[in-house]
Amino acid sequence: MSSKPDSEKESRREDASQSSLQDEEYVKQALKGDQRAYQKLTEKYRRPLQYHVNKMVKESEQVEDLVQEAFIKAFNNLNSYNSSYAFSTWLYRITTNHTIDYLRKKKLKTTSIDKPIKTREGEMSFELPDDYAETDRQIIRKQRKKIITHAIENLPDKYRQVIEMRHIEELSYQEIADELDLPLGTVKAHIFRAREMLYKSLKDKKEKF
């Protein structure tokens, strides 16, 4: 009986082990402030994560946004990573949870308030509150929007501009590149950096309260 399958399994285990050791080294360097380590991790996992998210979300540009945002979340919480587990497992879990949150929010936005929802107990309709009654939730939402708007306004001009074009004007990456006469890669890098700065700014504000 051939031992080839066993040797192939062993080889895959060795490759996975080497990859995990490499990740651990990148994480150590990143925690020391080495930007090249962040870049290495991003380059290594961007495409696999895009493929992973694309199985849940079909819009290609939204996939790229979600992966970028997942990287930012992971990098900003890198000190909470437990090296007892593979970095890839930790990163995939963050990305999956972030994508699920996006899908839940999207579903909430697209649910009709007029059309009844079918449940096991029958149909369920939404009862709209008094238009003039300001709930605590509405107040919190307005406050959050104000904080985010303020954070965007405080970004350096080149980052503020691309974030506003992407998330307020809802332009595609290519449309932003054409509008600003910039390479597509530069636009993506600016948006990534802008989101990173916003995440840090909003996280700092949250910790003060």
**Per-domain boundaries in the chain:** 13-110, 135-209
Q: Provide mean pLDDT across the span 100-115.
A: 66
Q: What number of CA atoms fall less than 13 Å from residue 84's CA on the CB side?
A: 2
What pLDDT score was predicted for residue 6?
57
Is the sign of the CA dihedral 136, 142, 147, 148 positive or negative? positive
Q: Provide mean pLDDT across the span 1-30.
A: 70
> pLDDT-based confidence at 92, cuts 50/70/90?
very high
**May I ask the CATH architecture of the domain 13-110?**
Orthogonal Bundle (1.10)
Q: Which tops the pLDDT comparison, 142 or 46?
A: 46
What pLDDT score was predicted for residue 135?
52
Residue 129 gets which letter from DSSP? P
Q: Dig out the tokens for 112 from the structure.
A: 């009709």
Read off the pTM.
Answer: 0.60
Class of domain 135-209: mainly alpha
- Residues near 185 by beta carbon (within 8 Å), at least 6 away in sequence: none
Judge residue 91's burial from the number of C-beta atoms within 10 Å of its C-beta, 0-12 exposed, 13-18 middle, 19 or more buried: buried
